Amino acid sequence: MATNIDLKAIDLNSLYQQGKPVQLGIAGGIIVIILVLAYFFVYSGQNAQLSQLRQEEEELKQTYTEKSKQAANLDVLKAELDSINGLFNSLLKQLPTQAEIPNLIQELHECATKNGLNMDSITPVAQNADNKAEQQVIQTLPYKITLTGNYNQISQFIRDVGKLSRIVTLNSIVLKRNDKDNTLTLNAVANTYKALTAAEIKAQTDDKKDKK
């Protein structure tokens, strides 16, 4: 039969005189208190740290998965970059050098003559100093052109310009009808492009530094 223990009636100074059930009960209570305090002061902090470590583990797993996908596509990205660089270098080779600009102007004259057009004028356009400062690798060289002919001749001229060995684009195109002979006058800006040399790029960079 279980014995009821009155803890209030126990004198701690005479605990050694108490019976075994009382001593065991008090010892058990002390152990429970110690375990509860240990949980709150030790294990609860470890649980919080463990939760943080688990969260960091999930983040690392997610990062690893993303990096793995990027690594798997690395060869494809390198191939695309090589293709872009190859295309860019190919386009650069189609840009005239400064020495080739007169020949290019001559080609425009020949395109007009071949199509029965009168090349009334072709003049370089003065560039704004601010625009020049913005150029980095490729410089635009604009020329105003004026030529006269019929619609079919002008259309063929525009197509032939697109087939030139060097890159030339026609912008700001304006067509006007001549009432006297029923012909058309084309006013446009023919842009060609020149790849800047390393020395020219360095000169532009130095000029920008001097202006700051």
Domain of 134, in residue numbers: 98-211
| Residue owning tokens 């030529």 | 147
pLDDT, residue 168, reads 87
119 in the same domain as 30: no
111 in the same domain as 44: no
For the chain, how many structural domains are there in total?
A: 2
Q: CB of 204 within 8 A of CB of 190?
A: no
Cα separation, 134 vs 208, whole angstroms: 10
| Residue owning tokens 């009636």 | 9
CA geometry: angle 44, 50, 54, nearest 5 deg = 150
Q: What is the pLDDT of residues 72-120, one digit of tens each?
A: 787 887 888 888 878 777 776 766 667 677 888 888 899 999 999 988 8
pLDDT category at 65 given cuts 50, 70, 90 is confident
Cα separation, 188 vs 112, whole angstroms: 13
Which helix or strand (DSSP H or E) is residue 195 part of? Answer: strand 183-195
pTM above 0.85, yes or no: no
Q: What is the pLDDT of residues 136-169, one digit of tens each?
A: 677 788 999 999 999 999 999 999 998 887 788 8
DSSP E strand stretches across 73-182: 118-124, 138-149, 168-178
Do the domain assignments include residue 44? Answer: yes
154 in the same domain as 68: no
197 in the same domain as 115: yes
64 in the same domain as 110: no
Do the domain assignments include residue 166? Answer: yes
140 in the same domain as 61: no
Do the domain assignments include residue 63? Answer: yes
197 in the same domain as 163: yes
102 in the same domain as 41: no
3-state DSSP helix/strand/coil percent for the chain, to nearest 5? 60, 20, 20
User: Percent of the chain, pLDDT > 90?
Assistant: 19
Q: CB of 145 within 8 A of CB of 121?
A: yes
State whether the Cα torsion 104-107-112-115 is positive or negative: negative
> Residue 121 pLDDT > 70, yes or no?
yes
Do the domain assignments include residue 144? Answer: yes
Domain of residue 181, CATH code:
3.30.70.60
Cα separation, 80 vs 74, whole angstroms: 10
Do the domain assignments include residue 85? Answer: no
Output the DSSP codes for 47-87: HHHHHHHHHHHHHHHHHHHHHHHHHHTHHHHHHHHHHHHHH
Do the domain assignments include residue 138? Answer: yes
Q: State the chain's mean pLDDT as an integer.
A: 77
- Closest CA relative to residue 186, chosen from 115, 131, 138: 115
Do the domain assignments include residue 86? Answer: no
Greatest alpha-carbon span in the chain = 137
Cα separation, 198 vs 54, whole angstroms: 54
